[in-house]
């Protein structure tokens, strides 16, 4: 279906189809897409990479230098067998461990009802101390109730 121009047929000439492409809708769509990309691009760079432990993780070989950091449902911390009274004591122990020639891997054993906020606070303390090799101890999904630490990253 051809559309005639506004001046077609006024001067007694034959009616011709309009040969120009109307680019206004194309420009409108491109501007809308540009605005969408400008708004969403910063959101793509603020993602937090989280490697979640799998319930059927394979047990890693036992590292004698690895430290177990247990976190109870109430948020209390236990460094190996040492119960920590507050976060300041935990920061001191973590900083002391990070000063070793080879900093130990930290395996976190957290209660499943522990609020996520508390877990992120503990992870921040570990990172601030310089302990970056962190793994999580999980329960196996099968009928056996043994714990299997995930591979530290």
Q: What is the edge-to-edge ordering of all strands in the sheet holding 147-149?
A: 82-84, 77-79, 67-71, 106-110, 134-139, 147-149
Is 33 in a helix, a strand, or coil? helix
pLDDT band for 52, please (50, 70, 90 cuts): very low
* Number of independent structural domains in the chain: 2
Rounded to an integer, the average pLDDT of 24-35 is 94
pLDDT band for 8, please (50, 70, 90 cuts): low
Q: Say yes or no to pLDDT of 44 above 80.
A: no
Domain that residue 14 falls in: 1-47
**73 and 32, same structural domain?**
no
**83 and 37, same structural domain?**
no
**39 and 3, same structural domain?**
yes
**81 and 25, same structural domain?**
no
**81 and 31, same structural domain?**
no
Structural domain includes residue 17: yes
What pTM value is reported for the model? 0.53
Rounded to an integer, the average pLDDT of 129-150 is 68
Q: Residue 151: which of 82, 61, 77 has the closest Cα?
A: 61
What's the pLDDT at 149?
Answer: 53
Q: Residue 109: which of 144, 66, 142, 64 has the closest Cα?
A: 66
């Amino acid at each position: 279906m051809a559309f005639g121009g506004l001046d077609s047929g006024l001067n007694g000439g034959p009616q011709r189809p309009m040969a120009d492409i109307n680019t206004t809708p194309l420009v409108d769509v491109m501007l809308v897409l540009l605005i969408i990309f400008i708004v969403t691009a910063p959101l793509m760079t603020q993602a937090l990479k989280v490697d979640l432990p799998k319930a059927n993780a394979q047990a890693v070989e036992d590292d004698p230098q690895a430290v177990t950091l247990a976190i109870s449902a109430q948020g209390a911390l236990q460094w190996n067998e040492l119960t920590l009274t507050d976060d300041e004591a935990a920061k001191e122990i973590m900083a002391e461990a990070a000063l070793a020639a080879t900093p130990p891997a930290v395996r976190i054993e957290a209660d499943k009802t522990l609020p996520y906020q508390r877990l992120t606070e503990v992870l921040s303390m570990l990172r601030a101390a310089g302990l970056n090799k962190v793994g999580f101890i999980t329960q196996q999904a099968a009928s056996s109730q043994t714990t299997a630490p995930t591979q530290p990253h």
